[in-house]
Structure 1
Amino acid sequence: MTLRFRWDWESAPGVRLAEVAATWCRLSIDLDDASATLVEQRDGSGGPRRSIDVSAYPLAEYLAVNWWRMSVPAHLQSDHGVRFAGAGSGFAWPDLTLRNDHGLMWVTLRSRDKAPESVRFLTRAEAVLDAGATLEAVAGFIDATVRRLDDEGVKGTLLQEEWAAIQQADTAERDFCLVAAAWGQDPYDTPSDVAQLMLGAERRIGSAELLADLARAVPLGQLAESADWLLEASGAEAPRRLEIPPLGPLDWSSAAGVAPWKIGYQRARRLRHLLGLEPTAEAPIDDLLTVGQTVSRAPLNIDALVQADGESSLSVVVGAGTSATAKRFASARVIGRHGLAPVRGLSLLTRATQYTERAERAFAAELLAPADGIAELLDGDYSEDALQRAAQHFGVNPMLVQHQVENQVAA
């Protein structure tokens, strides 16, 4: 599934603002066969149509201003994405929201009927798209709007200035903008003390992506001390060659509307099958990846640092004081991350609760203590002692077994 913009430029006699008049168009936005701009008049006249008559300028400006938010693959938990309806300027826009999460673009489209707008939007949809392809589609729409302004002799608009700054950014500027956006800051108006804090942390750990990932887990005030731990963890263990059989690509487009734990359970069962594990067999976690531990404790809400090289190597580093069962669970989550969407470089296991984190946790639970194996061991006995014995058998926390019983075995 892909996001597509289509437009036909039209004249706009009587429109006074030059940038609005120059970019007047009939606009359609689609998610494959689902039309985000399927509308009908609120009075029901004229029947439905798949386009809206608007100026492209307000939406293009809004998307350019929020470009770095859309581009960064990590966000504060409070960031719910870029909502097209926020473009405003007196136009009716579809209630379409884009949220980038670890390279996947989660798209939500809601129907909308809001007075005093003259039209109601009819379509509801959910989709999971490739973030890169989605950003290309958005960039194409912004580019076309900027070119239209140039062709019509309109100069000096905020859109033109913003888009030029984005396109002319060098690597260092781009890295800073992505980090600032991850932490909920305006990249072009970040307070100087916050900017210095971010730049200092990035110089120390040498990874803008990792620094952005921290936004999912720790408050800004703990950025410096978190960077200390990351620096220690990144030198703790070198990843070794993977011994995990390939699970095959996951079609994330089919995940829209599917509970994350179902995806996690399915992938974990496939891995256990490929490893030849019986339902009651303990998963050989230490044989599948490198596991390390730091001398100092990990920052609050961070469970581990992940080092990966796509399909080649994988390691996990936990903090001091991590129990044996927590270390196994973190390791299984890392294997889950690899099995859901292989990653490269450094990333964090956090206690965030976005879709991918929940899928990873479900994967880890099913890999370590599969529901079929628990059912076989318990044989209908759900007493506390029986759950404890099953937990010891699989080398996991009893709460994990309890959750598996509640969510799968006895559900």
Structure 2
Amino acid sequence: MNAVPELAIRWEWEAAPSVKAPEHRATWARIEITVGAEHVTLVEDQESGSSRRSIYCPLYPLAEWAAYNWWLLRADARPARSLDLWGLEHYDSRQFRRHSLRGIGDGFLWPNLALIPEGEHKRLIWQRDRFPTSGRPIRFLADGEAFVDRDSVDRELISVISAVLTRLAEQGVTDTPLEKEWAEIQRADPDEVEFCLAAARLGLDPYSEAGPYQQLIMRAAAELRGDLLGDFLDAVEPARIGQALDWIRGARTEIEQAPEAEAARTLREELRRSRAAPGNRSWEKGWNQARVVRRILGLADQDVFDLSAYMNSIDQPTADRGLQAVGGSTGVSGPLAVVEPGRPGGSRRFTLSRALWHYLWESEPLFLVTTAYTERQKVERAFAAELLAPAQGIGELLSVPPEIAIQDDLDGIAAHFQVSPMVIKHQLDNQLLPI
């Protein structure tokens, strides 16, 4: 198994007698940030052209940023949706300030390092400054991406906050916004922590934005449990919570009345007697699980998967665009997925295959398929892609090497597997093209 890199923030206090703000003067430091062996703070000095692995500025703004965005940094996975599409350059300004160190500001230039929670990990992605900018003494030079243990990142941020508070106390600087914010966070009881994390999953600051939605959040927590609640909060728009809960309740009634898909039940029983190689990453886990399914069913890599034998479905308008389907099984009925109507055939098959992953590989009686990009959603997307259009089968059907394939090639293979060309492209990019 590959070693999981760690985030490390190191500093050495420096004298800064000319700095006016007392919290900045007290915490002025040489700061170095690394992820594994990668130096996020590798910079070029614009005047001399030389490079170094650290920056000089106060540590206080970083600690204050981490405290003010604490709950969002722990639970808000929503930025992953726009990040995968547009990267850091097109980040929404509010998300940018809350998840990227570049948003710290305070008159200092920080690296464009984003911290996005994804299940048991945090996705760290950093981007260099493409061109020198007038008036900036340094330019960041490093690009990279890593999945880091979630708790280790939280511990590193806590160590920064604690060190800054200790330094401020030693230097006689008290009553700072950081001190007040962190004290409030530390005082939170279990119920408040649960609410703050739920609000953060909705993309809301629990202290300044979640108030109007408090009753809706509490209703969601009362009606949904476990992964179902988490997936719901990761995807629904706060203002649509009530309608979305009503939609799920109605879908539950449909599921309870659905005919049993005996083939799906038999397949699930066989899978529970088998073992799938887990994989190091979420997408590898999904690919491996799909391969086990196809192997049990005796499907060759070019065979088209008959989804209708394993997942019943009905159309019903969804209450929120982030919720694409709700599905489940009562044990004597289903599985059935209630799907947003009007989806093209290939897109519908992909959504239903994601729903099938929940039924086959998890024990939850009710589940959601959403637009979120959390770790679980990545597993189910990878499963659906490999189940419907195996990478090996795509390679066999291609008449040219993958690196010179054109859109017409992808369209033909997509038609064969009855999926969208985007699925074929993702399979090509992620499994067939040379790294």
Q: Shift of the alpha carbon at 1:35?
A: 0.7
Please say which of residues 50-59 and 112-121 is displaced more in the overlay: 112-121
Residue 301 of structure 2 is aligned to residue 279 of structure 1:
yes
With over 3 angstroms needed to count, the CA separation of the structure-2 counterparts of 1:195 and 1:329, relative to structure 1, is: same
Q: Which residue of 1 aligns with 2:127?
A: 110
Residue 205 of structure 2 is aligned to residue 205 of structure 1:
no
Q: Which residue of 2 aligns with 1:311?
A: none
With over 3 angstroms needed to count, the CA separation of the structure-2 counterparts of 1:24 and 1:180, relative to structure 1, is: same
Residue 192 of structure 2 is aligned to residue 173 of structure 1:
yes
Aligned counterparts, 1:38-49, within 5 A: 38-44=42-48, 47-49=50-52
With over 3 angstroms needed to count, the CA separation of the structure-2 counterparts of 1:387 and 1:30, relative to structure 1, is: closer
Residue 139 of structure 2 is aligned to residue 120 of structure 1:
yes
Q: Find 1:214's aligned residue among 223, 232, 240.
A: 232
Question: Would you say how many aligned residue pairs link Structure 1 and Structure 2?
Answer: 384
Letter in 2 for 1:92: L
Q: Which residue of 2 aligns with 1:154?
A: 173
Letter in 2 for 1:243: L
With over 3 angstroms needed to count, the CA separation of the structure-2 counterparts of 1:192 and 1:216, relative to structure 1, is: closer
With over 3 angstroms needed to count, the CA separation of the structure-2 counterparts of 1:12 and 1:67, relative to structure 1, is: same
Aligned counterparts, 1:28-107, within 5 A: 28-44=32-48, 47-75=50-78, 77=81, 79=95, 82-107=99-124
Residue 322 of structure 2 is aligned to residue 332 of structure 1:
no
Please say which of residues 86-95 and 270-279 is displaced more in the overlay: 270-279
Q: Which residue of 2 aligns with 1:312?
A: none
CA distance in 1: counterparts of 2:121 and 2:302, whole angstroms: 34
Q: Shift of the alpha carbon at 1:44?
A: 2.0
Please say which of residues 180-189 and 19-28 is displaced more in the overlay: 180-189
Please say which of residues 324-333 and 47-56 is displaced more in the overlay: 324-333
Q: Which residue of 2 aligns with 1:370?
A: 390
Specify the SS of the correspondent of 1:177: helix
- Unaligned runs of at least 5 residues, structure 1: 309-314, 392-397
Aligned counterparts, 1:308-327, within 5 A: 318-319=337-338
With over 3 angstroms needed to count, the CA separation of the structure-2 counterparts of 1:43 and 1:300, relative to structure 1, is: same
Asked if structure 1 preserves the Cα contact closer than 8 Å seen for 2:388 and 2:419, the reply is no
Asked if structure 2 preserves the Cα contact closer than 8 Å seen for 1:74 and 1:215, the reply is no
Letter in 1 for 2:387: L
Q: Which residue of 2 aligns with 1:395?
A: none
Please say which of residues 243-252 and 277-286 is displaced more in the overlay: 277-286
With over 3 angstroms needed to count, the CA separation of the structure-2 counterparts of 1:135 and 1:114, relative to structure 1, is: farther
Q: Percent identity over the alignment?
A: 31
Aligned counterparts, 1:184-199, within 5 A: 184-190=203-209, 192-199=211-218
- Unaligned runs of at least 5 residues, structure 2: 83-94, 257-264, 401-408
CA distance in 2: counterparts of 1:4 and 1:343, whole angstroms: 38
With over 3 angstroms needed to count, the CA separation of the structure-2 counterparts of 1:326 and 1:44, relative to structure 1, is: closer
CA distance in 2: counterparts of 1:211 and 1:342, whole angstroms: 15
Q: Shift of the alpha carbon at 1:178?
A: 1.8
With over 3 angstroms needed to count, the CA separation of the structure-2 counterparts of 1:15 and 1:225, relative to structure 1, is: same
Asked if structure 1 preserves the Cα contact closer than 8 Å seen for 2:12 and 2:29, the reply is yes
Asked if structure 2 preserves the Cα contact closer than 8 Å seen for 1:74 and 1:212, the reply is no
Letter in 2 for 1:190: E
Asked if structure 2 preserves the Cα contact closer than 8 Å seen for 1:8 and 1:25, the reply is yes
Specify the SS of the correspondent of 1:97: strand
Give the TM-score of the pair, scaled to structure 2: 0.70
Q: Which residue of 1 aligns with 2:405?
A: none
Q: Which residue of 2 aligns with 1:246?
A: 275
Q: Find 1:136's aligned residue among 155, 159, 166.
A: 155
Please say which of residues 139-148 and 319-328 is displaced more in the overlay: 319-328
With over 3 angstroms needed to count, the CA separation of the structure-2 counterparts of 1:355 and 1:170, relative to structure 1, is: closer
Letter in 2 for 1:144: A
Q: Shift of the alpha carbon at 1:370?
A: 3.4
Q: Which residue of 1 aligns with 2:404?
A: none
CA distance in 1: counterparts of 2:16 and 2:412, whole angstroms: 76
Deviations 1:294-326 (A, max 9, x none): 997654442445789xxxxxx976227889998
Cα-Cα RMSD: 4.7
With over 3 angstroms needed to count, the CA separation of the structure-2 counterparts of 1:402 and 1:229, relative to structure 1, is: closer
Asked if structure 2 preserves the Cα contact closer than 8 Å seen for 1:18 and 1:154, the reply is yes
With over 3 angstroms needed to count, the CA separation of the structure-2 counterparts of 1:136 and 1:365, relative to structure 1, is: same
With over 3 angstroms needed to count, the CA separation of the structure-2 counterparts of 1:170 and 1:329, relative to structure 1, is: same
Deviations 1:192-241 (A, max 9, x none): 4322332333233355x65553355433332112123445667968x987
With over 3 angstroms needed to count, the CA separation of the structure-2 counterparts of 1:144 and 1:385, relative to structure 1, is: closer
Residue 369 of structure 2 is aligned to residue 349 of structure 1:
yes
CA distance in 2: counterparts of 1:18 and 1:164, whole angstroms: 20
Letter in 1 for 2:246: D
Specify the SS of the correspondent of 1:319: strand
With over 3 angstroms needed to count, the CA separation of the structure-2 counterparts of 1:233 and 1:248, relative to structure 1, is: farther
Deviations 1:240-285 (A, max 9, x none): 8782533333323xx9xxxx7x986576346645776433567698
Letter in 2 for 1:196: Q
